Structure 1
Amino acid sequence: MEPTAATLAPTPLIDSDHPDVVDFARRHAVGDDDRERAVALYLAVRDGFRYDPYRIDLSADGMRASGVLARGYGWCVPKAALLAAAARAVGIAARLGYADVRNHLSTERLRRLLGTDLYIWHGYTELWLDGAWRKATPAFNLGLCERFGLLPLEFDGVSDSIYHPYDRAGQRHMEYVHQRGSFDDMPLERIAADIVATYPNWVAEPVSADSFTADVERENA
């Protein structure tokens, strides 16, 4: 499906008209064409904001794109929203995609919080480049990948950037088990209801800042 007006428009959660999002997009969308600008935005979101799956806030304020800019960290769903918002801010059509994935590598605390290795509503971004939708997954920042022994997800604007099935050592990493489809806006009500029902401990337990990075470093020392 080709882009529609909705894939370029701001929404309450993909707030591409927010002044901070506009400024971020203009500063980082460097390149001679949409592909180069999209790659530059991808790297800015991937590495500029620490991945933190411990501290989640399922409110609109906690999930919208501009909130990632304000906090300096996020997990896959809001980071994907930020990339979509930044792309729309510079005229690149963008939408959100979701899938359920089985994570074969995690921390002990995250496994305890979730009670499973199945992650529902994993978020990524789809960008319209050179006549096709390209998947881009800006979740894991480069520093985290290096600490965790993961292969970083690269994006060239041509091939899809999705989770690797194996890590650097050849161990199982991510497995896509169910595709939930593509959306012009984040279906927050559905995401929040499913996450609360599936992972009540993940939502309820407060976790201190930087503890995910600390857990990764300790378990991989």
Structure 2
Amino acid sequence: MLYELETGLYKGPLDKLLELVEGKKLEITTVNLAEVTTDFLKYLQRIEEEKRNHELIADFLVIASRLVLIKSKVLLPSLTLSEEEEVDIKNLEARLKLYQELKQTQAYVQEGWRTLPMMHAREFMFSTGAIFYPPAKIRSKTLHVAVGGVFGELQKILRPVAIIKREIINLREKIQEIFKRLTETPLSFSKLKKDGSRGEIVVLFLAILHLIKDQLVSVEQEDHFGDILIAKNGGNQYNE
């Protein structure tokens, strides 16, 4: 899941995240992932503005939601994450380390194939078609039973592919929507996310982080388990 190297003009989410980490010569740690979150979100916004490959955007949103949790913990040290969110963060770090190892192994194998011609098959093998040589005494009924047995075992292993419908939510529109709703009187995060789906809540959090970065809003949390309050900074305007 989410291990694609490149799709068209765009990199896959893990590939892009690894590129950002290695570009800053950082080790893969939770703190360092927080450092590259902003750059990752900018790349996600670029893909969204191009309006290409909604499935790729959905994959990026999954990774972005994990990065938002990490960045939020850095911005708001008092923020308490659920056990599931803590596990998601650890899984992202572990998967990115594994992905880095896979890419390094891939580069090693490609270099071996390039520099060691003896690793290639002999030339005549390319022109030889696949040939089936059945035993001399085999009968059609025996072959039918054998093939049926193979398919029977495959059915035990293979499972139906589940089709998941993913919701696409426009980040820029969400930022505009939130900014219009906010006033200098604080509004709680729980009210903003009321009745929202999980995807909407993730995009809502991304939108708030954008507004914080642009110094258009301020946030506060009165206690460790309290709601997050968001207020518009006076005199600032959002440039659409």
Return the structure number with greater strand share.
1
TM-score, normalised relative to structure 1: 0.32
Counting helix residues as a fraction of each chain, which structure ranks higher?
2
Q: TM-score, normalised by structure 2?
A: 0.30
